[in-house]
C-alpha cells in the first residue's frame, strides 16, 4: 500500500487466494473499491477515506467556504493540532457510484445557494477526475456561518 498525505492507493497482484491489498484493508478496517483490474498488471483499490479526503479538499477550495464542520470528536482532535482531512464528509460507495454528504461552515456575506452549487460542481469534478467513479449526488448541510475576525 502506498500512502501520500493520508491518501491510500492499494495496488496488488493477483498471486494468492487472499490478495495483499485486501488483507491490508481488512487489517485497517477500511472499505475499499476496486477501480481497475487487469490480469497481468494487478488491480487498483481506493479506500472510502481517500474519496472523502478528495471531497473535503475540493469543497474547501471554493470561495465562501470557511471550513468543514465535524462532530465534537473531530473538533477536539483539531484543537490538539491533528488534521482530519475527511472531517465533515460522509461517503457511500457502490460498485461504480459515489454519494457524498458534506457539512460546511460558510463565510458570512456569501450566498449559500451559490456557494453550495459551486461546491457540488467542484466535488463532483474532483472525484470523477481523480477516481473515475461516477458521482450520483453531493448533498450539503450548512452547519454554521463564520464571521470575519477583522470586522
**In the chain, where are the structural domains located?**
2-46, 48-146
Mean pLDDT (10-residue bins), the chain, 151 residues: 43 38 42 62 83 93 90 54 72 88 94 96 96 94 85 51
**Contact between residue 38 and residue 11 where contact means Cβ atoms under 8 Å apart:** no
Q: What local confidence, expressed as pLDDT, does residue 36 receive?
A: 57
Q: What local confidence, expressed as pLDDT, does residue 54 receive?
A: 94
SS3 46: strand
Query: How many angstroms separate the CA atoms of 25 and 14, rounded?
Result: 15
Query: How many angstroms separate the CA atoms of 106 and 43, rounded?
Result: 39
Task: Say which CATH topology domain 48-146 has.
Answer: Alpha-Beta Plaits (3.30.70)
Chain Cα centroid distance, residue 79: 21
Query: How many angstroms separate the CA atoms of 69 and 106, rounded?
Result: 10
Q: What local confidence, expressed as pLDDT, does residue 139 receive?
A: 96
Q: What local confidence, expressed as pLDDT, does residue 7 receive?
A: 43
Amino acid at each position: 500500500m502506498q500512502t501520500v498525505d493520508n491518501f491510500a492507493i492499494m495496488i496488488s497482484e493477483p498471486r494468492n487466494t487472499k490478495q495483499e491489498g485486501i488483507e491490508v484493508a481488512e487489517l485497517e478496517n477500511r472499505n475499499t473499491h476496486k477501480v481497475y483490474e487487469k490480469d497481468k498488471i494487478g488491480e487498483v483499490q481506493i479506500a472510502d477515506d481517500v474519496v472523502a479526503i478528495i471531497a473535503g479538499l475540493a469543497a474547501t477550495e471554493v470561495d465562501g467556504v470557511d471550513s468543514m464542520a465535524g462532530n465534537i470528536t473531530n473538533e477536539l482532535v483539531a484543537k490538539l493540532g491533528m488534521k482530519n482531512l475527511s472531517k465533515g464528509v460522509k461517503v457511500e460507495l457502490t460498485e461504480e457510484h459515489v454519494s457524498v454528504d458534506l457539512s460546511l461552515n460558510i463565510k458570512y456575506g456569501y450566498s449559500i445557494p451559490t456557494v453550495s452549487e459551486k461546491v457540488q460542481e467542484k466535488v463532483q469534478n474532483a472525484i470523477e477526475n481523480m477516481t473515475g467513479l461516477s458521482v450520483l449526488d453531493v448533498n450539503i448541510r450548512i452547519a454554521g456561518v463564520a464571521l470575519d475576525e477583522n470586522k
